């Protein structure tokens, strides 16, 4: 009678090198995706901040008009406002210009700017109209 030797099959332990490499590649793609998502979120946040500052600058000019009860501002006040709009150091915008066009009792306030890394021609614009009623005689 022949004896058979039965050897117990041992379950494999640990991971093979290829499984580790696949896991590292998958995790790397996930980290790269998160990094690009973070970069895009920062870009959108800066763009929203610039839009908010443009609205505040236009509101500043509109407030001066309402305070004077006229759509026309003195030349010195308009020049000071335009200087603040174009100076990022004092809450202005990068590469910005501000303009006020008056037609009758309506003033159109326009703030236009270009982000520092944006190409020429990719300007943003914020426009608002201010209507001051003409007082009755």
Mean of the pLDDT values across residues 84-98?
Answer: 89
pLDDT confidence bin for 91, thresholds 50/70/90? confident
In a domain, 9, yes or no: no
Q: Specify the residue for token string 């809450």.
A: 91
pTM score, two decimals?
Answer: 0.71
Number of domains comprising the chain: 1
In a domain, 1, yes or no: no
In a domain, 10, yes or no: no
DSSP class of 60: H
**Token pair listed for 79:** 């020049």
Residues with Cβ < 8 Å from 111, sequence gap 6 or more? 54, 57, 58, 85, 93, 96, 97, 98, 125, 126, 127
In a domain, 75, yes or no: yes
Domain coverage including residue 63? 17-131
What value does the mean pLDDT of the chain take? 88
In a domain, 137, yes or no: no
pLDDT single digits (tens) 11-69: 666 668 888 899 999 999 999 999 999 999 998 898 899 999 999 999 999 999 998 88
Mean of the pLDDT values across residues 5-15?
Answer: 65
User: How many angstroms separate the Cα of 104 from the Cα of each of 41, 75, 79, 133?
Assistant: 43, 18, 21, 10
């Amino acid at each position: 009678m022949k004896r058979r030797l039965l050897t117990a099959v041992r379950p494999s332990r640990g991971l093979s090198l290829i499984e580790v490499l696949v896991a590292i590649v998958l995790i790397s793609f996930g980290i790269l995706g998160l990094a690009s998502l973070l970069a895009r979120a920062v870009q959108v946040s800066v763009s929203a901040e610039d839009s908010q500052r443009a609205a505040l600058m236009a509101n500043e000019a509109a407030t001066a008009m309402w305070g004077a009860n006229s759509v026309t501002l003195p030349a010195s006040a308009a020049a000071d406002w335009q200087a603040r709009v174009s100076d990022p150091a004092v809450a202005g915008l990068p590469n910005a210009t501000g303009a006020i066009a008056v037609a009758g009792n309506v003033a159109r306030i326009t703030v236009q700017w270009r982000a520092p890394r944006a190409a020429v021609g990719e300007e943003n614009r914020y426009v608002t109209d201010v209507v001051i009623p003409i007082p009755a005689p």
